[in-house]
Amino acid sequence: MSSLLLTAFIASLTAWVPGDTHPVQFGEAVPAQTADTIPAPGGDTIPVQTGDSVPQPVADTIPAEATPPDEVEPPSLPVPILDTLPRPPHPDSIIPLRELVVDILRSPMQLDETPFAVSVLGNELWTTGRSESSIEEALQGLPGVQIHNRFNDAVGERISIRGYGARSEFGVRGVKILVDGIPATLPDGQSTLDHLDLGSLGRVEALRGPGSALYGNASGGVLSFESRLPANAHLRQEFRMIQGDHDYQRRQSTTSGRLGEVGYMVNLARYEFGGYRTNPLGEEGLTYGTSQRDHLNAQLHSPFLGGQLRFTANAMEMEAENPGAVSRELLEEGGRPALGFNVTQRSGRDVQQGQAGVRWVGPVAERELELTGYGIGRSLSNPTPVDWIHLNRKAGGFGATLRSEAQGEDGRLWWAAGLDADFQSDHRRIHQNLSGTEGLLLLNQAERVAGGAIFLQAMLPINPILDVLTGLRYDRIHFRASDRMPTESPEHRGVGARTLDSASPSFGFHAGIHDALNFYANLTTAFETPTAGELSTRPDGGRGFNPELEPQVGITTEVGGRGVVASQLAWEAVFFHTTLHNELVPYEVASAPGRRYFRNSGRSQRQGWEVALQYSPSRYFSTRFVVSTNTARFREFSPEEGQDFAGKRVPGLAPYRSEAMIRVGPGSWFAELRGEATGAIPGNDMNTPEAESPAYRLMDVRAGANEVNILGLRLSPFLGVTNLMDTEYNTSVVANAMEGRYFEPGPGRSFYMGSSIAVQF
């Protein structure tokens, strides 16, 4: 692989809370690593500071003992989320609710006041003793979120929130993704997270229900990733090394600090993975599924025009092999094989991407204005089992939000209004894949997607207990395809244009009855168009866009509560019900196995429970339990004459998933035992038994030390074992695959170990 591409500036700025003199980082309220806390769940999760290793369901935070990594002299008192001045520490067993602020609702709100199911992963994910090999590892413990880690960088993890996103062949569908305040979801609804560097990840916020009223297309759920802030020192240099089974290696260098009011951070990382899927066409011991990825992530924070400005730049270059999904018969032969046809066709992906942007938040005429702009360049070479795809993409966008708030006798009244404008320009070429070489040109097409939206949101306090939050957004997205295939007859040239639009309202209320009971309910909508790639893949073989494929629309009702009992037990429970019209369903045809097409079902339905409990009697011990259910069935679906799938389960979704964790620490050391259980997953629309992936249980263990100071160097060694019981399981299911190729097997018992070494001045 060639050396890492250079790129420049992105930005995401810090959100400013009116009435406070300190600018507040988007999703954050204090400078990086100002306090050590163990979050306690109100159904949500935050991992703790230095040396912690697992997200905790949150209602808020418990002060913890671990040494903050980015302070020259660690403060002796915890710093609350809405202030930069230390306040008296909480007793060891307290779980305060009212200090955690979230920004995912497009205006800073305290977690206990949100009328939606919102989760948070804290800003010390990078020191949690994990292998940092996958997004799935970083999002453990989120109720309602299923992450199928396919251990296959050529397609990436499949992220599903309450079933939205379960259809994705690669990348992320149906879930809105933000990285440092910059959209990673393009106007057609396609998201890629190749550029997300887990080694510099500091915070994650999740909206677990539909968010189209806030974010528009493909917002069945929302994930906002934030890089950690620069160190509170002139210079902090850290090196991090991790090594494990399957030739896994990760090397990382992070340089950060502050020069006056200006903060900076530069992170460089290399990731290598040898794979565990045996190569059926090679010599014994050879694998297929290797990958290598280089990352650059840089940030600059500075005051500007009375507000806060943040530039962010990232670049990524990756090569990865795709071992594919296999049939039950091949699985039963053992060895976790790759699909031989994928090996023959050299299936994989070679991608380069650069992204840059800027975000400013500051006061304007006694209100707060947020401005965001970004640009993306991406080049992809993607041999699939059937085709060889080349894609060159340019994309960008602009957003503006104006916010205002006032404090009245009954509480906080605020409103936010804004607009978003995004575009993408793709040049897509598809060739036949002839045993790993490019064959006949099948498609040469220029695609343009332009999206525009306006939105309005407001919170109205009815009385000191009851608040009402309402919002409305209108999106209009225009798709256009221009055929560049040579033809002697212009009338046979494939062209296409589609304009899809939707108005997406939401309504919710919150009742703060007691610290032990905060009740909320809401009605939300989801709007999701087919992506440009999905529209371009036509089962009739024609060029241009599929004229029959329609966007899916969902309506969700949600009722839930959260609270803290006796300052030690935090809880959240949510029930949701979703009705989807025109659900987008993937399928394959016998004439082209491996090529994915899409069609609309008539109507489908999902409902389930999400429950999270955390018991934290002291800062040194905590337990957590999370369970999520999802009953997803078609109600009207007859794709062909004589077929009726009404009442069948939607493929690719587990009916339940639970996680449990016991943790000792943090102090100078930590140890954790984590387990999960996942239900059987149907593999096709007919729910045939041979297509069902069996239920499974997994167990992981981690342990390590927290920044041991030796001669001025801060050492944090750790080790872990995943799949401790060496369970055979399928990590993912390919819905409606032909020839029974539904299953992607997960790895067996795997070990890893690593350490970071840091010095700061």
Taking the model in full, what pTM does it have?
Answer: 0.84
pLDDT at 40: 34
Q: What is the structure's pLDDT at 299?
A: 94
Q: Is the pLDDT of residue 544 over 90?
A: no
What is the per-residue DSSP string for 103-145?
A: -TTSS-EEGGG-SS-EEEE-TTGGGSS-----HHHHTTT-TTE
| Residue 374 and residue 182 in contact, taking contact as beta carbons nearer than 8 Å | yes
Confidence of residue 21 (pLDDT cuts 50, 70, 90): very low
What percent of the chain is modeled with pLDDT above 90? 56
Distance CA 124, CA 12 (A): 19
Q: CA-CA distance, 209 to 188, in Å (whole number)?
A: 20
Dihedral sign, Cα of residue 156, residue 161, residue 166, residue 168: negative
Q: Where is mean pLDDT largest: 99-103, 201-205, 618-622?
A: 201-205
Q: Which helix (DSSP H) or strand (DSSP E) does residue 86 occupy?
A: none
pLDDT at position 469 over 90: yes
Q: How confident is the model at residue 328 (pLDDT cuts 50, 70, 90)?
A: very high
Q: What superfamily in CATH does domain 14-760 come from?
A: TonB-dependent receptor, beta-barrel domain (2.40.170.20)
Separation CA 550–CA 581 (nearest Å): 10
C-alpha torsion 529→534→536→542, nearest 10: -110
Condensed to tens digits (0 to 9), the pLDDT of residues 405-462 reads 888 787 788 999 999 999 999 999 999 999 999 999 988 999 999 999 999 999 999 9
CB within 8 A of 319, min separation 6: which ones?
1, 291, 292, 293, 348, 349, 350
pLDDT at 686: 93
**Percent of the chain beyond pLDDT 70?**
85
pLDDT one-digit tens code per residue, 177-191? 999 888 899 999 888
| 84 band by pLDDT with thresholds 50, 70 and 90 | very low
Tokens representing 512 are 């703060």
Q: Which of 63-67, 284-288, 374-378 has the lowest mean pLDDT?
A: 63-67
Write the DSSP string, 445-506. EEEEEEEEEEEEEEEEESSSSEEEEEEEEEEEEEEEEEE-S--S-GGGS-EEEEEEEEEEEE
pLDDT at position 265: 96
Give 620-677 pLDDT, tens digit per residue.
888 989 999 999 999 999 988 888 999 999 999 999 999 999 988 777 888 999 999 9
User: What DSSP character marks residue 681?
Assistant: B
- The tens digit of pLDDT for each residue in 555-603 reads 999 999 999 898 889 899 999 999 999 988 888 887 777 788 888 888 9
Read off the tokens for 624. 């957590």
pLDDT per residue as tens digits for the range 690-725: 999 999 999 999 999 988 888 888 899 999 999 999
User: Predicted confidence band at 494 (pLDDT cuts at 50, 70, 90)?
Assistant: low
| Residue 61 pLDDT > 60 | no
Q: Does 39 have pLDDT greater than 50?
A: no
C-alpha atoms less than 13 angstroms from C-alpha of 92 in its C-beta half-sphere? 9
Cα–Cα distance measured from residue 753 to residue 534, given in angstroms and rounded to the nearest whole number:
41
At 99, is the pLDDT very low, low, confident or very high (cuts 50, 70, 90)? Answer: low
Mean pLDDT for 180-209 is: 88
Both tokens of 569, joined, read 């037990």
| Predicted pLDDT at 364 | 94
DSSP 676: E
- What angle is formed at CA 679 by the lines to CA 673 and CA 680, rounded to 5 degrees? 135
Q: Identify the band that residue 298 occupies on the pLDDT scale cut at 50, 70 and 90.
A: very high
Q: Say if residue 488's pLDDT is above 70.
A: no
Distance CA 200, CA 282 (A): 37
CA distance 175 to 192: 11
Label residue 683 left, alpha or beta by phi (over 0 means left) and psi (-120 to 50 means alpha): alpha
Confidence of residue 505 (pLDDT cuts 50, 70, 90): very high
Look over the chain and give the mean of its residue pLDDT values, rounded to a whole number.
83
Q: Which residues pair with 530 in a beta bridge?
A: none
pLDDT at 59 over 50: no
For 466, other C-beta atoms within 10 Å of its C-beta total 16
For residue 7, the model assigns a pLDDT of 35
Burial of 489 from C-beta contacts in 10 A (0-12 / 13-18 / 19+): exposed
